């Protein structure tokens, strides 16, 4: 998503970069540095956590594994797809 913002020329400041996968995190840090970077599950954020970041925009790349043809093809039954659905 960061490359997309760069490509269209929108000025931005990265407040946080989060991923649960340690390999993905190493790649991100190699390319962009570690400022604002955290390794955690986005589901662990509270409303206060998000509000305290004073965000104008959130970009994200949702997990694709539940929906790929090569994977287990569990679709919405895969626990990794929970972030797509309202639980209340």
Q: Which of 58, 64, 72, 82 is catalytic?
A: 64
86 is catalytic: no
Distance CA 62, CA 81 (A): 8
DSSP annotation of 60 reads -
Cβ(67)–Cβ(81) below 8 Å: yes
Distance CA 26, CA 5 (A): 21
What torsion do the CA atoms of 57, 61, 62, 64 make, to the nearest 10 degrees? 170
Q: Which residues are catalytic?
A: 64
């Amino acid at each position: 998503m960061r490359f997309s913002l760069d490509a269209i020329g929108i000025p931005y400041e990265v407040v946080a970069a989060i991923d649960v996968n340690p390999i993905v995190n190493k790649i991100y840090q190699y390319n962009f540095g570690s400022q604002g970077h955290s390794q955690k599950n986005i589901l662990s954020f509270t409303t206060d956590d998000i509000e305290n970041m004073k965000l104008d925009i959130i970009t994200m790349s949702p997990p694709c594994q539940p929906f790929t043809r090569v994977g287990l093809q569990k679709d919405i039954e895969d626990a990794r797809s929970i972030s797509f659905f309202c639980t209340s």
